[in-house]
Amino acid sequence: MLQLPKVIGHRGAMAYAPENTLESFREAHRRGATWVEIDVKLTSDGVPIVVHDDSLKRTTGVDRLAAETPVAELPASVPTFEQAIACFGELGLGCNIEIKPCKGREEETARVAVATLRRLWPANLPAPLLSSFKDASLAAACAAVPEFARALLVDELKDDWRERARAVEAVGINTSGKRLTAPRAVEIKQAGYLLSTYTVNDPDVARVLVAMGTDCVITDMPDVILAALAR
Ligand code: G3P
Ligand code: MG
C-alpha cells in the first residue's frame, strides 16, 4: 500500500524558490518536506521535463512552447525528469508526479514518464504517486506499468468520480482544497481511497481539510503547513 506523507511541497516549495526547479526541490527539503509534487511534460524530441505551463515564457522568459523545444535548447533552469529524479535520490525525497501532457500527447507523455521511472526511480525512495487531470494519461500509465500507483486529479469532483477512479485503477483522489465538500470527503474515505488536497497554504484551512479526511496536503509552503499540522 502506498504511504503518503501528511504534506507535499507543491512544485518543490514554490512560495520560496522558482517552481519545478532543482533549487525548489532543495528548498522544500530544507523546509522539512519529505515529498514534492512536480509537473512532467515532453520536449519536441520526446524527453520528459519538469515544467508546468505549455509555454516556457512565464517561468523562464523564453517565449517558446515546451512541445516545440528540443531538450538541447531548453533553458538551464528547467530540469529534465531524469535530473529531478537524481536530485530526489540525493535528498531522499518522495514524489507525486503529475503527468501534464501537451494536447495530443496524453498517452505518450504517460508512457515515457513511467518508462523513465521504471529505469531510474531509486530503490531507496518511497514508491511514487502518479496523478493527472487527463484520465487518458492515467489509463496509459496503468496499462504500461500498473505497479506505479495512480491518483485521479480533479479540480471539482462530480458524481462520476468512482467510475473514473476505477477505470484507471487509482488508489487516490487528488482534488482542490477549495472545492472539496465534507460529504464528498467522507465518500472518498469510506470507499478506501487516499485523499490529497491542493494547493493549501493557509494553516487553518489545512487543519479543516485534515479534519474532513484529507490524508495529504499539497502546499507551496511545506514548513508552514507541517508546523500547523504538528500542533
Ligand atoms: O497536483 C496538484 C496541483 O499541482 C494541480 O494543479 O495546475 O498546480 O499543476 P497545478
Ligand atoms: Mg501540478
- With respect to residue 148, please indicate whether it lies within any of the assigned structural domains: yes
- With respect to residue 203, please indicate whether it lies within any of the assigned structural domains: yes
Residue nearest to atom 10 of ligand 1 (CA): 52
Please name the residues in contact with 143: beta carbons below 8 A apart, sequence gap of 6 or more.
Answer: none
Q: What percent of the chain has pLDDT over 90?
A: 99
Residues around the ion ligand 2 (C-beta < 5 A): 39, 98
Whether the pLDDT of residue 1 is over 80: the answer is no
Run of H or E residues at 94: strand 94-99
Residue nearest to atom 1 of ligand 1 (CA): 98
- With respect to residue 1, please indicate whether it lies within any of the assigned structural domains: no
The pLDDT tens digits of the residues spanning 53-105 come to: 999 999 999 999 999 999 999 999 999 999 999 999 999 999 999 999 999 99
Q: Ligand 1, residues 14, 20, 37, 200: which to mutate, most atoms within 8 A of Cβ? A: 37
Contact 151, 170 (CB under 8 A): yes
Whether the pLDDT of residue 113 is over 80: the answer is yes
Whether the pLDDT of residue 231 is over 90: the answer is no
Contact 141, 110 (CB under 8 A): yes
Tell me the pLDDT of the chain averaged across its residues. Answer: 98
CA distances from 217 to 16, 161, 194, 199, 211 (A): 17, 20, 11, 8, 12
Q: Ligand 1, residues 54, 134, 153, 201: which to mutate, most atoms within 8 A of Cβ? A: 153
Whether the pLDDT of residue 130 is over 90: the answer is yes
Q: What share of the chain is helix, strand, coil (3-state, %, to 5)?
A: 40, 20, 40
Please name the residues in contact with 94: beta carbons below 8 A apart, sequence gap of 6 or more.
Answer: 5, 34, 35, 36, 88, 125, 126, 128
d(CA 109, CA 113): 6
Please give the average per-residue pLDDT across 152-174, as a whole number.
98
Give the CATH number of the domain where residue 124 resides: 3.20.20.190
- With respect to residue 77, please indicate whether it lies within any of the assigned structural domains: yes
- With respect to residue 2, please indicate whether it lies within any of the assigned structural domains: no
Catalytic residue among 10, 11, 41, 134: 10
- With respect to residue 19, please indicate whether it lies within any of the assigned structural domains: yes
Whether the pLDDT of residue 117 is over 80: the answer is yes
Q: How far is the CA of 37 from the centre of ligand 2 (A)?
A: 6
Give residue 180's domain range.
7-230
Determine the residue type at 71.
V
Count of domains in the chain? 1
